[in-house]
Amino acid sequence: MLITGLLTIAAFLLIASAASRPGKSPILMLAGMAVLSISIAGHMISYTSIFPAVTALSAEIGVGLLLVAGFLARKKIPAKPFFFLGSASLAVCILLLGIGHFLDSGGDNSLARNADLTTLLVELGPDDSIDEISSTLAKFNADYERAFPRVTLRMDENLAQVYLVTTRTTHADRLKEELLGDVENIDHVGLNWTVGLDDPIVSREAPEITRAVLENDPFVSLQWGMEAIRGHEAHALIKDLTPERKARVAILDTGVDAKHEDIRSAFSSSPAASDVHGHGSHCAGIAGAVTNNGLGIASLNWEGEFIEVTAYQALNDQGVGTIEMIAQAIIDAARDEVDVISMSLGGKSEEAPKTIVDAIKFAQRHNVIVVVSAGNSNEDAIDHMPSNVDGVIVVSAVDENLQKASFSNTNGSLAMPITAPGVNILSLKTEGGYVQMSGTSMSTPMVSGLVGVMRAFSPDLTADEVYAILHSTGRNLGESSTIGRLINAEEAIKAVR
């Protein structure tokens, strides 16, 4: 763009020189017009849409005409027409800039409302600056901002250098190609794609437990999953014990209804303390609802003494989140020194997005154990993210018969597979009440809650140590080679006491 701008100015200097000569110098005039034509053509090629091209040309032509006016005035030649035309051209430029700002800021305009935009995650090298690629971004009329402004180079030189770059979808592939070609400044470019929830709907009623149990939660008899993982026996084991400290289990989801009666006293101040959607609240209840409080359901969090639940917004009110949103939630939870991150989300991706990989590595360096869902596509979780990220515990789901849930992905091809109940799981309903849901979204926080209790007794446990205990104490099912062993809460807690 700098070259085309200089060509425009040069063209008007030639025109001014021609106009100041007695014979009007047709050769210089033609040369000036030719250079101006080249400049205009260059703008059309350089810019990916007419709007920024016309805006830039208006500014350059305005400056050029004012230069002509000044040049002619010094020669005592009438220059008012050039002055007025130059001023008008600059006024057009200012008007176009105002319109562009209005559209970009989401003004009441159908074009702005319907703009088809794509956002890329662009990672610069640790020694590079966004200014070094500004000409490329301007060429595609792309906006940019730091993806994780609170992360410094000292904290993580990859995440600190990630930018959100937004352009029109029709330009995204060309922009990505040009950025990837800039090997001197660009380390990685990826799409900031969206992840949604797709839990299956199960309508049948869960079996009711008829034997006497220790807990006084009124709906505990409807929680077949507690029976399957020997949760009642775990409660008998820990009810008179004191943990080293409470463990913090972070639910990265749609938020958590922090005012719900059965989680309120176990909820710790955190960014996502409300939940319009409901998915996150359901997960939170499974992981850490206060048990033996005479209300609602039971989790492994006996009388709220072992787990604090925190929440971070990885998904919006519609249950959809971008790669950047999920990574930001991971980073924030890690910086807040949680013990366990529970993520009941994901999407199909044979190779996990680098930004997610880097964010999980960031959390692991902060001694956070990351537990993720295998997914609900009845496929191999190795082709889904974040289950295919190294170092995470991946949870599949079983039904009431302790067989792989029909929807559950398998996870046996991954390094840390485990399974837990995930069909007809009763838990919190946002804004009060209780509801059954099914999915690996439900089995995952059941494992996260157990890991939280383990960390409460032994805060220095690593992810590898935790998984080794879950696996060695877990119940071997007929399908364990493909879905992992079923967690045994009683024996896992015994192993860490």
Which residues are known catalytic residues? 253, 279, 441
Task: Kindly tell me the burial class for residue 176, based on how many C-beta atoms sit within 10 Å of its own C-beta (0-12, 13-18, 19 or more).
Answer: buried
Cα–Cα distance for residue pair 466/371, rounded to 1 Å: 11
Cα–Cα distance for residue pair 333/331, rounded to 1 Å: 6
Is residue 361 classed as helix, strand or coil in its secondary structure? helix
What angle in degrees, to the nearest 10, is found between the helix axes of 323-335 and 354-365? 10
Closest among 234, 187, 232 to 212, alpha carbons compared: 232
| E strand intervals along 323-422 | 340-343, 347-348, 369-373, 384-385, 393-398, 417-421
Closest among 362, 358, 364, 375 to 340, alpha carbons compared: 364
Cα–Cα distance for residue pair 203/223, rounded to 1 Å: 16
Place of tokens 């869902």: 373
Count of CB atoms within 10 A of residue 191's CB?
14
DSSP line for 259-325:
T-TTTGGGB---S----SSSHHHHHHHHHHPPBSSSSS---S-BTTSSEEEEEEESS-TTSEEEHHH
Closest among 428, 408, 404, 431 to 486, alpha carbons compared: 404
- Half-sphere exposure in the Cβ direction for 55 (13 Å, CA): 17
Give the CA distances from residue 91 to residues 62, 87, 138, 224, 420, in Å, rounded to whole numbers and listed in that order. 8, 6, 21, 72, 67
CB 490 within 8 A of CB 239: no
